[in-house]
Structure 1
Amino acid sequence: MKNRQERAVLWDLDGTLLDSADNHWQAWRGALAELDLDLSRENFLDTFGQRSPAILDLRFPFLEEPEKTRLLDSKRKRYRDLTEHEGLFPGAREWLERLKDSGWHQAVASSSLRNVIEPTLEKLGIASFFEAIVAGDDVIVGKPDPEVFRAAAKKLNVSPDRCVVVEDAPAGIEAARRAGMRTIGIRSAHFDLEADFLADSLLTLPPDAFDRVLFSL
């Protein structure tokens, strides 16, 4: 049975906690160049937050499976080579600490692969803040399907209506809504997010933002 007294924050990773959008785009461009293809930044941002196979199917539906496999392998390798230059967005660590001290459960619910998420959290020194991780390879269908958020809430044993999702992408906001959760949208790349509460950055979130979203709306 879900615990209706507890409360949880489910964090997207890329573009929300982690300043990684440019590295993902550059990794895509490098991999696509191997097949004389390209991806504009606008088209990249429109799909940022979705799983890589879904992005390929949407943007390059004409590719054969061997080409898709080669591209995905190349993109993942290129991205890993770039991750040493990534860091947290300003305010991220402070919010993780504040929420933990206030008794909120926290989980990562991301489209990235587990073998990318776990070393990234360790490298940044924030792994201990999260009681659960649900990665893109843990679910059958990625965002905007709600499976990733429902799975995270289940791992935390917190009812969906007691969860606040922090996202930067339209697909993530839609997934959270379909899961029956409240949403905070961080406009790091998208300015038209249909979230319950919007902020330009984690630094501009008011101190009572999470309580306000969960209890006051």
Structure 2
Amino acid sequence: MKAFLFDLNGTMIHDMDYHTSAWQHVLQTELGAQFSWEELKPQMYGKNNEVLMRLFGPEKFSEPEMECLSIIKEARYQEEFLPHLQLLPGLAEFLKQANERGILLAIGSAAIPFNIDFVLDNLHIRHYFQAIVSADDVTLSKPHPETFLKAAEQLGVAPRECLVFEDVPKGAEAAQRAGMQTVILTTTHQVEEFTHLHNVVHFAPDFTDPFMQRLL
């Protein structure tokens, strides 16, 4: 493989519970909406406005209202998660080794630039990535393949030469539709949730898994 494409949330950092917690807090305090953890967790993918539309329907909020709720939610998320911000075990060394071997690296995430910058700049890893595709850079979120196809295009490599690192079925499906194989980090979903996908080459709890070294 000439390039590694990384999802961010749940793949590079273990933060999905903090996103769920932030949404739960904001929806309750700002809207008085009582969603249980079990109701919210399956909705934690895609852009923030897509999350709101899945929860409340497409007609509930205007674009400015959704943008306002999104800003409040992201501020809450960053405040709660910052003391715990760290890369998954083994990822720092994996990025360093991939970079030394000339493997191109990109981020393809449904996160907004505000959150991507929060991670890259606080952890001082921006210099590893030659391309970053965020929620603001695509029209259609995962499972549409646009995110990963744009990342490959920015790197100048063919989709078949890219390996995707993901943690959710929708992301793995996006990789499959882009013609890319994927390694799944089992931070947020169980192995059996990916059985309908045929592009998964390995499941790993983190980047200390011996399989990761074989990729280099």
- Which interval holds the TM-score relative to the shorter structure? 0.7 to 0.9
Helix, strand or coil at the partner of 2:211: coil
Alpha-carbon deviation of 1:114?
1.3
**Counterpart in the other structure of 1:203:** 208
Identity %: 33
Alpha-carbon distance in 2 for matches of 1:80, 1:88:
15
**Cα distance change, pair 155–18 in 1 and its aligned pair in 2 (3 A):** same
**Cα distance change, pair 115–102 in 1 and its aligned pair in 2 (3 A):** same
Alpha-carbon deviation of 1:161?
0.2
- Aligned ranges for residues 67-82 of structure 1 at < 5 Å? 67-82=65-80
TM-score (norm 1): 0.87
Alpha-carbon deviation of 1:7?
0.6
Q: Does 1:168 align with 2:167?
A: yes
**Counterpart in the other structure of 2:33:** 37
What runs of 5+ residues in structure 2 fail to find an aligned partner? Answer: none
Q: Is the CA contact (8 Å cut-off) linking 2:165 and 2:182 kept in structure 1?
A: yes
Q: Which aligned runs of 4 or more in structure 1 are off by greater than 4 angstroms?
A: none
1:80-122 CA-to-partner distances (Å, cap 9, x unmatched) read 3234222211111111112112221000111111132124202
Q: Does 1:14 align with 2:9?
A: yes
**Cα distance change, pair 27–136 in 1 and its aligned pair in 2 (3 A):** same
Q: Is the CA contact (8 Å cut-off) linking 2:184 and 2:203 kept in structure 1?
A: yes
Helix, strand or coil at the partner of 2:94: helix
Q: Is the CA contact (8 Å cut-off) linking 2:24 and 2:40 kept in structure 1?
A: no
1:63 to 60, 63, 68: 60
**Cα distance change, pair 157–201 in 1 and its aligned pair in 2 (3 A):** same
Helix, strand or coil at the partner of 2:164: strand
Alpha-carbon deviation of 1:49?
3.2
Alpha-carbon deviation of 1:178?
0.6
Helix, strand or coil at the partner of 1:206: helix
TM-score (norm 2): 0.87
